[in-house]
Structure 1
Amino acid sequence: MLCLDFFYCGALMLCCTRLCGALLMPAHGPTVTEDTFPSTETSSASTVAHHDPRNAACFVDDIFAVLRDAVGSDGELANGSLSQFGICTASGSSSGSVLLELAKETSGNQRHGLEALHPTGVLLAEEGERGTLVLTFDLPPSPLLKLSPALLLEFESPPTGGILDVTFTSQSLHPHAQTVCILGETRYLLLTGKAAEGNLHQKWRISVETKSPDMSQSLKDILIGGTSGSNISMVPLLLFSGETGTDTSSSLTSSQTSFLCELKRFLGDVLPQDPRESSPLLRDSLQSLPPLTLGLSSSDAMLAGLINSSSITIFSFSSWSSVFQVHRGELTFSPALLDELKQRLEHTVGKITEVIREEQVGQRATERLGRLKDLSAFPLKEPASGGSQYRAFILLKALQTVARAYEVQRGLRATRAGPSNPARANICGLRSLTVSLDKRLGLPNTVNINNCHGSCAFPVTNGNNHAVLLNFHIESESVDERAPCCVPVAYEALEVVDLNEHGTYLSIKPDVVARECGCR
């Protein structure tokens, strides 16, 4: 038998109009040791959970997206949702009904206002002769604990092995004993708890056991990632459903964060994936111009240049942290430029909608694009706020990148089908070349930089005087000289939009994408 201790002493709260959650995750501060949480039992081993969801700014928003995707177009749980959440059967399952309720509450395009509170410590200890596992969370008291929570446990990595039935038993659960079915496709476990009574410094002690003692090691492998594991491999989240009210002061932050998290998911869904493997490019090896801040001080000339730029844009989400929740990107366009932004965005959204349909990217990408449109929409009667202008601009740049990526992909398909004029196939000219970027750089993680291939024999293609004379000299006198080479003679820059807790920055890396070839 294994035991999980949930200790409520302090945390950051996640609240919305009808959905709230207390996120359980380690806070910054001293490393938690056994002395921090003294135990009455003998500890044979202990470890601190190093997984810190605060370093992933979209952790909570991603959970809400998963819940939203659990509902099908008919308003019922989609195929695979039960196994994804460890629910054995929909018939008579309290967890199944709770999952459906939570999923429906997150199905709107506008995410509710959320706030996050962090625990002061997390401890996993293996105690007693039988090696009982005890997981302790230190959280602050909260009035939300007076509501009936749903406990969601997220796997850090997919579980391996066959089907495993696990029973959770606790006086803090309702019903007290609940069985989950862990499969290869299970990513979350959903349990239903009961409201706290009296003192909100509540301690949950949940016993966890399998039907067969032979499965105990498999259960331990799932919870701590194997016998050699040193980290807790499940991240817990408490969700509360009910009328709790909202904090309107954080509505701008919530919509901004939700937009950027949805954008990150959309780009991951819709951008073409290159199956070829290549060595990643180190980010610092690319030369850059001084970074520009995208904010209220950005000039119209700068913004107009970015709107009209044909350069590939990379979106870097790599340096997000918990402080990202206060990110307040804002822009101020002139009325004329704002009208141009609206028109371009409307046209590009229509273009990408058609691309998604033709390329059969999937319904989820269409739904994500719809939410992005709603989150970046301008008000019909009031002037557009700086935040909505910022979101519309970022969405436009993202969709321009998606459109260009699919243009390149279609060009590659046409090239593979064979040149229209075989006689010109070996003449110096541009060819597509896709290279991998460092994963830290962002989305997309590959970029088509083109390259030049072909013959520089007479007549010289786009050659300068030196190349023409050199080619004539070699052909007439058969001397041992370097012949003119087919090389790039004009380039486009790569734009990297860096989104972090301090703001939005644009880094321009010149001479990245070859756009014209010549003989030199």
Structure 2
Amino acid sequence: MLCLDFFCCGALMLCCTRLCGALLASHGQRLIPAHDPTVTDTSSASTVSHHGPQNAACFVDDIFAVLRDAVGSDGELTNGGLPQFGICTASDSSSGSVLLELAKEASRNQRDGLEAMHPTGVLLAEEDQRGTLMLTFDLPPSPLLKRSPALLLVFESPPAGGLLDITFTSQSLHPHAQTVCVSGETRYILLTGKATEGNVHQKWRISVETKSPDMSQSLKDVLIGGKSGTTISMVPLLLFSGERGTDTRFSSLASSQTSFLCELKRFLGDVLPQDHRGFSPLLLDSLQSLPPLTLDLSSSDALLAGLINSSSITVFSFRSWSSVFQVHRGELAFPPALLEELKQRLEETVGKITTVIREEQVGQRVTERLGRLKDLSALPLKKPAAGESQYRAFILLKALQTVARAYEVQRGLRATRAGPKNPVRANICGLKSLTVSLEKRLGLPNTVNINNCHGSCAFPMSNGNNHAVLLNFHIEGENVDERAPCCVPVAYEALEVVDLNEHGTFLSIKPDVVARECGCR
């Protein structure tokens, strides 16, 4: 028997196969392994190592985003939706209709009708020689269980191998027996559950088997990663659609602030130009930096005004934030005049990015993500109070300014390559594009155009100081033992790094990163 304990993070927090005890739940309590009192024989149980998922803070929200993408513009499921959720055929009306309902609920603004809950524990045991497995889910008491849930099993890594038919059988499912088709395209297994009566502590026991005993090893490969597997390769999640209940454990923090930051991360990943030339990554921590500044209600008006008007590239670091469940509630307070400027600049920049998306044909999904970001960061028309809405509007502005600049650089490069080439002018000292790669684990964008200077410093000299002019004159007099004037950066812009973590939002300014002007020195 292989015993796998899940950690319960409470409320809307995750309950995953690989969560380590060092993670913190929404109310600050330390996570503890779930205990199954029915397990008496532990002699053959394996000790399971637990690791936090790479994107824990966005885990649930990312699933809702996938559900939204499963519905096309016609309001029906897209062609890739069925195999992605393990649904065998379009005629499977039970799972297909539930998936469509969940997808439509997820598409509504701020997912008002869709809620999630996680088991407090799970036990996986092998029942017989035929390879039948038994999954036992330990569910917390909740009024949500009075609704018909959908059990979603989320693969932590894509399944390998060919098509595999798996049958799940349980009195907790409706219908009692459900067959799924797992392939390389499958990322989720969707099962339809049955509502319970009363608010009682409950266990779901689900039998899992394949069509033939010969496929039992393939079944184990899917569920626990084969013979050497020590953890279930799927994370369970119960989804409930319909009217929002009265369970106060589902806080607005998870439904607005987290949704905004997760949507921002997905949007930046989709819209920013990608460079796949495999540069060696630059470690930003090795660069000189000014003391970090906290972005919160105490931020000075001068700082906020400077950031709104800054043309610097902003990198958003989700490195610390994505590894924890507790997300800091960001808040800012702008004075009335600066708040009005923020609103105007945001409106202008959204219009500019909308044009970029259309002209660059980035895709409909990016347009939808931008629409959701606008909804989640909308400022009230009449004197919005200091707090989250001002914070989200500011963060969105900085992100869109970086996107706009990235496309300006890309268009400039295209124009340079397409335009007529003047050999004389092309060789004059001037600014050229130079893209460097950032740490992939840092954030977005993952590349930055820092520019560089190239060209000749011969007479007539471009932007040369007196020293360079005299030096060049001296060398032209056949004094070749001296260094000739070089084309180098003479003015720079800083790089701004916004670090999002459980303690707050911090700004790190790294001066003299992006070359802005060249000269002969």
TM-score (norm 2): 0.89
- 5 Å matches for 1:238-387? 238-246=238-246, 247=248, 250-251=251-252, 254-320=255-321, 325-381=326-382, 383-387=384-388
1:84 aligns with 2:100: no
Q: Tell me the distance in 2 between the aligned counterparts of 1:9 and 1:136.
A: 15
Aligned-partner SS, 1:110: helix
1:458 aligns with 2:456: no
Q: Which amino acid aligns with 1:142?
A: S
Does the aligned pair in 1 maintain the 2:145–2:199 contact within 8 Å? no
Kindly tell me: are residues 182 and 198 of structure 1, through their superposed partners in 2, closer, same or farther at Cα, counting changes over 3 Å?
A: same
* Range moving further from structure 2, 251-260 or 338-347: 251-260
How many Å apart are 1:120 and its aligned residue? 5.9
Q: Could you say what secondary structure the match of 2:321 adopts?
A: coil
Cα 1:343–1:428 shift into 2, 3 Å: same
Structure 1 vs Structure 2 CA RMSD:
3.2
Q: 1:427 to 1:237 in 2, by over 3 A?
A: same
- Aligned residue-pair number: 512
Aligned equivalent of 2:21:
28
Q: CA deviation at 1:382?
A: 5.6
Corresponding residue of 1:12 = 10
**112-121 vs 309-318, which deviates more?**
112-121
SS in 2 for 1:348: helix
Once the two structures are TM-superposed, the CA of residue 36 in structure 1 deviates from its matched residue by 7.3
Deviation at 1:336, TM superposition (A): 1.0
Counterpart in the other structure of 1:223: 223
Compared with structure 1, are the counterparts of its residues 285 and 106 closer, same or farther at alpha carbon in structure 2 (3 Å cutoff)?
A: same
* Residue identity opposite 1:510 in structure 2: P
Counterpart residue type for residue 46 of structure 1: S
Q: Distance in 1 between matches of 2:283 and 2:377?
A: 33
Q: 1:442 matched to which residue of 2?
A: 443
Q: 1:4 to 1:142 in 2, by over 3 A?
A: farther
5+ residue gaps in structure 1? 15-20
* Percent identity (aligned): 82
Is the 1:87–1:96 Cα contact (8 Å) retained in structure 2?
Answer: yes
Alpha-carbon distance between aligned partners in 1 of 2:8 and 2:145, rounded to the nearest angstrom: 12
Tell me how far apart the structure 1 counterparts of residues 386 and 111 of structure 2 sit (CA, whole Å): 18
Map 1:44-443 → 2, pairs under 5 A: 44=44, 46-48=46-48, 50-53=50-53, 56-112=56-112, 139-197=139-197, 200-246=200-246, 247=248, 250-251=251-252, 254-320=255-321, 325-381=326-382, 383-443=384-444
Secondary structure in structure 2 of the residue aligned to 1:58? helix
**What is the alpha-carbon distance in structure 1 between the residues aligned to residue 34 and residue 6 of structure 2?**
17
Structure 2: which amino acid aligns with 1:28?
A: G
Query: Take 2:117 and 2:33, find their aligned partners in 1: how far apart are those partners?
Result: 22
Matched residues in 2 for 1:115 and 1:327: separation? 21
Q: Provide the C-alpha distance between the structure 2 equivalents of 1:147 and 1:75, rounded to a whole number of angstroms.
A: 24
Q: Higher mean Cα deviation, 101-110 or 215-224?
A: 215-224
Contact 1:148 1:240 (8 Å CA) reproduced: yes
**2:107 aligns to what SS in structure 1?**
coil
> Which amino acid in structure 2 is aligned with residue 443 of structure 1?
L
- Kindly state the Cα deviation for residue 309 of structure 1 after the two structures are TM-superposed: 0.5
* Alpha-carbon contact 1:8-1:200 (below 8 Å) kept: no
Q: Which residue number corresponds to residue 17 of structure 1?
A: none
Unmatched tracts of structure 2, length 5 or more: 23-29
**Greater alpha carbon shift after TM alignment, 498-507 vs 419-428:** 419-428
CA deviations on 1:292-326 (whole Å, 9 max, x unpaired) are 11111111111111111010000111111576545
Alpha-carbon spacing, 1:34–1:228, altered in 2? closer, same or farther (3 Å): farther
- Please report the TM-score for the alignment, with normalisation by the length of structure 1: 0.89
Q: Which amino acid letter does the alignment assign opposite residue 298 of structure 1?
A: S
1:78 corresponds to which letter in structure 2? Answer: T
